Structure formats: structure tokens, C-alpha cells
């Protein structure tokens, strides 16, 4: 039985969140917070009570500064810590989790923090800020490691190594349950019927591979509903990327043979497939069927393109994940490669947040525990450095995968070559990052000086709206900083307040800013100490608070934004409004900021280009969000929402193009060729899908 230790008089309630699909870890978290388990006097038999409620006695030494206070607090809580494997949390006076750690013996580990010396500056700062602690025990040390990774991802403590982007990786899916299987990109739970291949490093890698597979095997990529509605081959058939089984251009038996070849290729039988194609090409050439030989030649070229895109293809490594870390300039880059069926499915650079004092192995070990939280684990993991508790990590991942997982640091042979290749990629990624960051930092510094900010902004939020005559109105927020655009922090806001009038841009801006900052104040209140620490920091801050807010518009938008932010209580956040130039001319934007006359920048000023890029990115994201919502509404209400389009013309459009997306992407001349659609109505349909902003 797990025993949780929660010292309630000192601990504020923590918000409940979905942390991971692992039910056992969820149960541990619930027990830790006192949500399950019996009280001490309700316990059955000789089982220990899962919750201990106690206030440590104050027997500390005389206080002599924040560091000594932190040691005293830790020393008091260490007396209550269990002598068992588990996880501990260090918490500051505001209830913010500073650090999550795991230990084989919690009491011994916690007691070590109370020593008067031997700590790095990072640990000393953490100790000085600690006011309370929480403990939860586990049955084994591997369980503690998994729980630690779960809680780090949940609370994102400042003093832990943090994996910044942990979204799932995409796969290629060959569908099942249909006479003509399709090829598709898939992300998320693998609950669709069919064969999955991957993971791939990025969506771009998947898209390029699918395109090449279409050219090599002529597989369809349309949905089943589109397949059923086709009456003539689509454009992909014309450009030789699909064999059009939907209209009988190829017999289903022949099509399924192509599907089997694609499956074999993805399973690692690439050499056999290429040898068979080469024999077919030679036979066609000998028979002087040069057109068929040219088609086979192009198929082989497509297969070669897939392999060249993914670089190294090991002969003796069937399934493994490769991780290599490189440190430079205070930045950690971990390069990951995914090897499946002797094929390299691409690589990806990760930049975890970690203190400069941490060694490469420490960063890599903490990264791995978080990386595999909720992701499938391969049979082998190859590392560039030894990591702390490597055997414990291997045991924990083996438990999660329900099979043996080996973690090794190769020193020679093909596996070492993979590590060396990944290390070179990590070094190159850091060099690119440092070059881009240097340029970005100069732009941010110049922007801060231009706007007379107290320091260069580390987080900029840009807001824009998009709608068509007030319908499907969407507000958008993008985020940028020293590392460029932070796309995982973008947000969209569906305009839904009854007080916001249709087409009222300033009203929409008020609603978006009010919702954004009201929630920010509630979830992440910022103290004066936090503001001072952010200003003094020379590196990017992970605070959700912006140093600068930019809105698209002129003086009315600036006034509306300022009044709204003052109403919420965040009137001290710097605010800038950018009005488009005469005739919307790029380079002639007018800048509005409180307390200064509107001004323009020289046409070739780098700061002007930088701000234009921020504004254009917000505009792109807003329009994309608006179009997505509009398409969803059209799918519900039908094309009849377009003036002049009734049921019969809707059927004519769908019959001609097949899908709503094809109608949306059609040119004006294509729309005019649809029976029953004249030039005026074609223009109305085209304008409906291409207006917005």
C-alpha cells in the first residue's frame, strides 16, 4: 500500500489536472493530495494510515538570513519524512512548487539539503526559497522515478529540468477495414484500425514521406466519405500520385498488391522492393515498353528520396531511440533519432530548460523520464552520456512498456556511429540557435529602447481579430521571445459575449484582452519580487506574463486595450498599437504608445521588419483560426449559408469537387465550370472562402 504524507496546515490546495494516462500514477497523486485513503483512526487492521497530519515543532537555530531560514524549514520537515522510496516537493511561500525530486530514502535525501555547505548556487537559491515540503512514498524506486516525471510535467517547477515541448509524435497509418486501404498521417492514440509506422520526428517528415509513397505506390490519401462520393478521378490521379481505385481506374486486387508493397517497404523490406522494381523495369525496357519502364523508374526514385531524406539507415539496429546531448553557451540541445525496422524516421532537436550548473548526464536523465511519459518506449535506447540512476530508469521504462528496455552508452561500432551522428546534429542545432538568438536578442533590445521599456522584452504577446461581417469572429494571440515564435503558447478566442456587437473590432479586442488577463491574474499572480527577478534575468523567462502587448489597430484599439487592462488591474503592462499605413502600405505603419505622439520608423529599419513580422504572424494565425471555425460551421449549416446557394447548387458543387475543402481551394475559373453556377454566383462562393481579416 502506498503511504502519502501531506502536511495540510502548510499546503495550499493544488489544482487537479489530467497528468498522464497511467492509472497507478494517477492513484498515487490522488492519495498524495488526501483525496483517497482512510484517515488514521478509520484504518483497518495493522495498515498504516496513508495520511499524516502534523505541524513540525519549531526547534530551529537562530535565524540569520533567507538561506538559514530555508535550512531550518527543511530540517523541521525532514523529521517527518519517511525512510522509504518516494517523491518530495519543495514549495515557496506562495504555494509554488520549486522542485520535485525522487529518492530511494526520502528522509536521507531531504536531510542532505539542511547541510550548511556543499551546495551549488542553484541549490542554495532553492533552499533559501523553500518554506514547506510535501512527501509521497512509493513501493519501489522505479515507481518514484515515474511519479517524479509525472509531477514535473504537471507543476513545471523552476529548478527542475523541463521538457518544453512534449506533444505526441506523428505516425503513418495504412488503414484497414476498407476494400481500398488509404495512407494517412496520424497523431494521438493509436485506436484506429490499421497498421501504424513510426514515430516520425515531425509532421513535415510524415508529409514528405507520404507524398513520396504516393508517387511510389499510387495509394489514395482521401477519406472514406470522399472515396465513396467520387464519380471521376481527382487531381492526384492526373499528377500520378494515386491509382484512383475510387472510379475503377485500377482493379482492387491490383491496388491491394500496391498496398502490400508499401507495407513491406515501411516494415524495412526496402531492398527487396527496389530489386523487384528494378527487375520489372529491365523487363519492360527489353520489351521496348519504355513508357512503363519510365513509370517504374520514377517509382524507384521516389523510394530513394524517402531514404535520402532520413539520412543514416543502420543495418544492425532494428528498433531504437537515439539521444545525444550537447552543451554550449548555457544552452542544452538533445538530438533524438527514431530507428524502426532498420530505417531512420527522422530527427528532432529538443532544447530543455535547465540550470547552467547541471552536467550533461543529469539533464539527459531528467529529460528521458519526462520524454517517455505517455509515449511508446522502444526496445533499446542509445545515449551519448551515462545518466544518474540509469538502471532504475531502465527498470521503470521496462515496467511501463511491459517488456525489457535496454539503455546503453555505445563506445564502438555502428551504434556509436549513430550517437556520433546525433551529437554532430546537436552541436549544429545549438550553433544555429545561438546565431538566431543573438540576432533576435539584438532586435528585442532595440525594440525595448525604441519603446523606452525598462528592459528588453522577453515575452511579447500580439493580438488580432478575424471575421466576415461579424460572423465566426475569432481573436488570436501569438507569443514571441528570444527564441522566436513560441507556437505551443498561441491561443485563440471564440468571440461569444452577447455584449460584443457583430463587426465591432474594438469590442472584440476588449473581450479577448479581458478574458486573457483576468484568467492570468487568477492563475499566475505576479509579485513585485517576481517582476524584479524577471527584469534582472539575462535569459528567456518562462513566466506567462508579457513584457509587451501589441494590438493591431490605431488609437481606438490602443484606448480600448488600455482601458480593459486597467479594469483587470494590469495597466502597468506596456502596450503598443500598430496602425497600417496609407492604402495599407507595408513599411508606413504608424506606432501608437501611451504618452507619446504617433510615430513611424524608417522604411528599412530592422525593428520595423521585426514588428511587421510579429503582426503578420498574428494576422495569419487569426485568419487560419477563423477559417477553421467557418468551415466547421459550414459543415453543420451547409453551403446554403452562402447567398444564392440552395440545395440543388450545393449538390452540384459537391458533385463536381467532391469535398468542402476542394470547393474552398477552387479557383474562380474552376467554380465557373460547375453546371448551374454562373459567374456572379461563382464570385460569391469564391469571395466567401477567401475573404477575412
Residue 23, pLDDT above cutoff 80: no
Higher pLDDT, 625 or 311: 625
Distance from C-alpha of 460 to C-alpha of 515, rounded to nearest angstrom: 17
User: By mean pLDDT, which of 26-30, 317-321, 368-372 is the weakest?
Assistant: 26-30
**Residue 100 near residue 116 (C-beta atoms within 8 A):** no
Residues 84-94: what's their mean pLDDT? 92
Angle at 111 between CA 106 and CA 113, to 5 degrees: 110
Residue 364, pLDDT above cutoff 70: yes
Can you tell me which residue has the cell 539521444? 323
User: By mean pLDDT, which of 118-132, 200-214, 405-419, 445-459 is the weakest?
Assistant: 200-214
Q: Where does 4-155 sit in CATH, by number?
A: 3.40.1440.10
Q: What is the model's pLDDT at position 335?
A: 93
Residue 534, pLDDT above cutoff 90: no
User: By mean pLDDT, which of 125-134, 364-373, 492-501 is the weakest?
Assistant: 492-501
Higher pLDDT, 568 or 633: 568
User: Which DSSP string corresponds to 537-563?
Assistant: -SS----SS-SEEEEESSHHHHHHHHH
Q: Please report, for residues 279, 449, 542, the alpha-carbon distance to residue 291 in angstroms, rounded to integers and kept in the order given.
A: 15, 65, 59
Residue 370, pLDDT above cutoff 60: yes
Residue 577, pLDDT above cutoff 80: yes
Q: What is the model's pLDDT at position 312?
A: 60
**572 — phi, psi (to 5°)?**
-85, -10
Is the preceding peptide bond at 199 cis, omega within 30 degrees of 0? yes
Residue 50, pLDDT above cutoff 50: no
Distance from C-alpha of 268 to C-alpha of 527, rounded to nearest angstrom: 56
Query: Bridge partners of 337?
Result: 322, 347
Distance from C-alpha of 59 to C-alpha of 82, rounded to nearest angstrom: 19
- Give the number of C-alpha atoms closer than 13 A to the C-alpha of residue 14, restricted to the C-beta side: 23
Residue 588, pLDDT above cutoff 80: no
Q: What is the model's pLDDT at position 21?
A: 39
Residue 11: band (very low, low, confident or very high) from pLDDT cuts 50, 70, 90: very low
Mean of the per-residue pLDDT values for the chain?
Answer: 79
Q: What is the model's pLDDT at position 581?
A: 67
Fill in the DSSP letter of residue 320: E
Q: What is the model's pLDDT at position 497?
A: 74
Q: What is the model's pLDDT at position 40?
A: 32
Residue 575: band (very low, low, confident or very high) from pLDDT cuts 50, 70, 90: very high
Residues 184-190: what's their mean pLDDT? 84
Residue 323, pLDDT above cutoff 60: yes
pLDDT tens digits along 259-300: 998 888 888 777 778 778 888 888 888 888 888 888 888 888
Q: Where does 451-528+539-627 sit in CATH, by number?
A: 3.30.420.340
Q: What is the model's pLDDT at position 587?
A: 65
Residue 46, pLDDT above cutoff 90: no
Q: What is the model's pLDDT at position 108?
A: 92
Give which of 213, 90, 210, 205 is closest to 158, Cα–Cα.
90
User: Which DSSP string corresponds to 24-65?
Assistant: HHHHHHHHHTTSSS--GGG--TTPPPS---------PPPP-S
Class of residue 6 by CB neighbours under 10 A (exposed 0-12, middle 13-18, buried 19+): buried
Instruction: Kindly state the cell numbers that stand for 102.
Output: 525522487
Can you tell me which residue has the cell 544552452? 331
Give which of 407, 382, 412, 417 is closest to 312, Cα–Cα.
417
Q: What is the model's pLDDT at position 661?
A: 67
Residues 674-687: what's their mean pLDDT? 83
Residue 167, pLDDT above cutoff 80: no
pLDDT tens digits along 389-444: 899 999 999 988 888 999 999 998 889 999 999 999 999 988 888 777 778 888 89
Distance from C-alpha of 156 to C-alpha of 542, rounded to nearest angstrom: 10
Domains 319-431 and 451-528+539-627 share a fold: yes
Residue 650, pLDDT above cutoff 50: yes
Show Cβ contacts of residue 457 under 8 Å, excluding neighbours closer than 6 positions. Answer: 444, 447, 448, 481, 546, 547, 548, 574
Give which of 75, 1, 78, 13 is closest to 44, Cα–Cα.
1
Can you tell me which residue has the cell 471575421? 467
Residues 373-390: what's their mean pLDDT? 89
pLDDT tens digits along 621-630: 888 776 776 6
Higher pLDDT, 646 or 585: 646
Show Cβ contacts of residue 190 under 8 Å, excluding neighbours closer than 6 positions. Answer: 171, 196
Q: What is the model's pLDDT at position 51?
A: 32
Residue 652, pLDDT above cutoff 90: no
Architecture of domain 638-690: Orthogonal Bundle (1.10)
| Sign (positive or negative) of CA dihedral 205, 208, 213, 218 | positive
Distance from C-alpha of 468 to C-alpha of 630, rounded to nearest angstrom: 9
Pairing of β 4-5 and β 132-137: antiparallel
Residue 192, pLDDT above cutoff 60: yes
User: By mean pLDDT, which of 11-25, 168-182, 191-205, 215-229 is the weakest?
Assistant: 11-25
Higher pLDDT, 74 or 295: 74
**Residue 475 near residue 510 (C-beta atoms within 8 A):** no
Q: What is the model's pLDDT at position 383?
A: 95
Distance from C-alpha of 9 to C-alpha of 5, rounded to nearest angstrom: 12
Q: What is the model's pLDDT at position 632?
A: 61
Q: What is the model's pLDDT at position 64?
A: 58
Angle at 97 between CA 93 and CA 103, to 5 degrees: 120
Residues 673-687: what's their mean pLDDT? 83
Pairing of β 380-383 and β 319-328: parallel
Class of residue 631 by CB neighbours under 10 A (exposed 0-12, middle 13-18, buried 19+): middle
Pairing of β 343-350 and β 194-197: unpaired
99: three-class secondary structure by DSSP: strand
Percent of the chain exceeding pLDDT 70 equals 81
Q: What is the model's pLDDT at position 308?
A: 61
Give which of 140, 157, 154, 52 is closest to 101, Cα–Cα.
157
Residue 362, pLDDT above cutoff 80: yes
Is this structure's pTM higher than 0.85? no
Q: Where does 319-431 sit in CATH, by number?
A: 3.30.420.340
User: By mean pLDDT, which of 52-66, 96-110, 251-265, 570-584 is the weakest?
Assistant: 52-66
Higher pLDDT, 11 or 114: 114
Residues 54-74: what's their mean pLDDT? 65
What are the domain boundaries of the chain?
A: 4-155, 171-309, 319-431, 451-528+539-627, 638-690
Higher pLDDT, 403 or 303: 403
Amino acid at each position: 500500500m502506498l503511504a502519502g504524507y501531506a502536511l495540510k496546515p502548510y499546503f495550499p490546495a493544488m489544482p487537479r489536472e489530467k497528468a498522464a494516462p497511467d492509472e497507478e500514477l494517477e492513484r498515487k497523486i490522488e492519495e498524495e493530495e488526501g483525496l483517497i485513503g482512510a484517515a488514521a483512526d478509520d484504518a483497518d487492521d495493522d495498515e498504516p494510515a496513508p495520511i499524516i497530519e502534523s505541524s513540525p515543532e519549531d526547534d530551529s537555530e537562530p535565524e540569520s538570513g533567507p538561506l538559514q531560514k530555508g535550512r531550518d524549514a527543511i530540517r523541521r520537515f525532514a523529521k517527518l519524512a519517511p525512510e522509504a522510496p518516494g517523491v518530495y516537493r519543495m514549495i515557496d511561500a506562495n504555494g509554488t512548487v520549486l522542485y520535485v525530486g525522487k529518492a530511494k530514502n526520502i528522509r536521507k535525501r531531504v536531510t542532505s539539503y539542511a547541510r550548511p555547505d556543499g551546495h551549488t548556487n542553484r541549490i542554495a537559491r532553492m533552499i533559501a526559497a523553500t518554506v514547506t515540503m510535501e512527501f509521497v512514498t512509493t513501493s519501489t524506486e522505479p515507481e518514484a522515478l515515474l511519479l517524479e516525471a509525472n509531477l514535473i510535467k504537471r507543476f513545471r517547477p523552476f529548478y527542475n529540468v523541463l521538457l518544453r515541448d512534449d506533444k505526441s509524435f506523428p505516425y503513418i497509418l495504412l488503414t484497414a477495414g476498407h476494400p481500398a486501404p488509404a495512407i494517412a498521417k496520424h497523431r494521438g492514440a493509436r485506436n484506429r484500425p490499421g497498421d501504424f509506422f513510426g514515430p516520425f520526428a515531425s509532421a513535415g517528415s510524415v508529409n514528405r514521406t507520404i507524398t513520396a509513397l504516393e508517387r511510389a505506390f499510387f495509394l489514395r490519401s482521401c477519406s472514406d466519405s470522399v472515396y465513396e462520393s467520387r464519380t471521376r478521378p481527382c487531381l492526384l490521379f492526373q499528377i500520378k500520385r494515386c491509382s484512383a481505385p475510387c472510379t475503377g481506374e485500377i482493379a482492387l486486387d491490383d491496388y491491394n498488391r500496391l498496398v502490400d508493397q508499401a507495407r513491406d517497404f515501411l516494415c524495412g523490406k526496402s531492398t527487396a522492393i527496389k530489386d523487384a522494381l528494378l527487375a520489372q523495369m529491365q523487363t519492360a525496357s527489353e520489351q521496348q515498353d519504355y513508357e512503363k519502364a519510365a513509370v517504374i523508374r520514377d517509382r524507384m526514385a521516389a523510394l530513394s528520396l524517402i531514404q535520402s531524406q532520413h539520412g543514416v539507415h543502420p543495418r544492425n539496429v532494428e528498433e531504437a531511440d537515439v539521444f545525444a546531448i550537447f552543451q554550449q553557451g548555457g544552452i542544452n540541445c538533445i538530438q533524438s533519432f527514431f530507428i524502426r525496422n532498420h530505417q531512420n524516421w527522422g530527427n528532432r532537436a529538443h532544447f530543455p530548460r535547465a540550470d547552467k550548473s547541471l552536467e550533461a548526464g543529469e539533464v539527459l536523465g531528467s529529460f528521458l523520464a519526462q520524454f517517455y511519459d505517455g509515449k511508446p518506449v522502444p526496445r533499446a535506447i542509445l545515449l551519448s552520456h551515462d545518466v544518474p540512476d540509469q538502471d532504475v530508469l531502465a527498470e521503470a521504462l521496462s515496467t511501463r512498456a511491459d517488456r525489457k528496455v535496454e539503455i546503453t552508452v555505445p563506445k564502438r561500432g555502428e551504434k556509436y556511429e549513430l550517437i556520433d551522428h546525433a551529437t554532430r546534429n546537436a552541436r549544429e542545432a545549438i550553433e544555429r540557435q545561438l546565431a538566431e538568438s543573438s540576432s533576435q536578442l539584438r532586435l528585442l533590445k532595440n525594440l525595448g529602447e525604441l519603446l523606452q521599456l525598462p528592459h528588453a522584452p522577453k515575452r511579447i504577446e500580439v493580438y488580432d481579430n478575424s471575421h466576415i461581417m461579424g460572423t465566426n469572429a475569432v481573436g488570436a494571440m501569438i507569443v514571441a521571445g528570444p527564441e522566436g515564435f513560441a507556437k505551443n503558447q498561441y491561443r485563440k478566442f471564440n468571440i461569444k459575449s452577447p455584449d460584443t456587437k457583430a463587426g465591432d473590432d474594438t469590442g472584440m479586442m476588449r473581450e479577448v484582452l479581458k478574458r486573457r488577463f483576468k484568467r492570468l491574474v487568477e492563475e499566475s499572480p505576479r509579485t513585485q519580487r517576481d517582476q524584479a527577478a524577471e527584469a534582472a534575468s539575462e535569459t528567456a523567462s518562462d513566466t506567462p506574463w508579457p513584457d509587451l502587448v501589441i494590438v493591431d489597430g490605431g488609437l481606438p484599439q490602443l484606448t480600448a486595450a488600455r482601458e480593459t487592462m486597467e479594469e483587470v488591474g494590469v495597466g502597468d503592462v506596456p502596450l503598443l498599437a500598430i496602425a497600417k499605413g496609407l492604402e495599407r502600405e507595408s513599411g508606413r505603419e504608424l506606432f501608437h504608445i501611451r504618452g507619446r505622439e504617433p510615430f513611424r520608423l524608417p522604411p528599412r529599419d530592422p525593428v520595423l521588419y521585426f514588428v511587421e513580422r510579429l503582426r503578420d504572424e498574428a494576422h495569419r494565425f487569426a485568419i487560419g483560426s477563423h477559417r477553421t471555425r467557418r468551415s466547421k460551421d459550414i459543415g453543420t449549416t451547409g453551403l446554403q449559408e452562402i447567398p444564392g446557394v440552395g440545395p440543388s447548387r450545393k449538390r452540384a458543387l459537391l458533385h463536381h469537387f467532391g469535398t468542402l475543402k476542394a470547393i474552398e481551394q477552387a479557383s474562380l475559373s474552376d467554380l465557373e465550370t460547375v453546371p448551374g453556377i454562373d459567374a456572379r454566383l461563382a464570385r460569391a462562393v469564391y469571395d466567401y472562402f477567401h475573404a477575412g481579416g
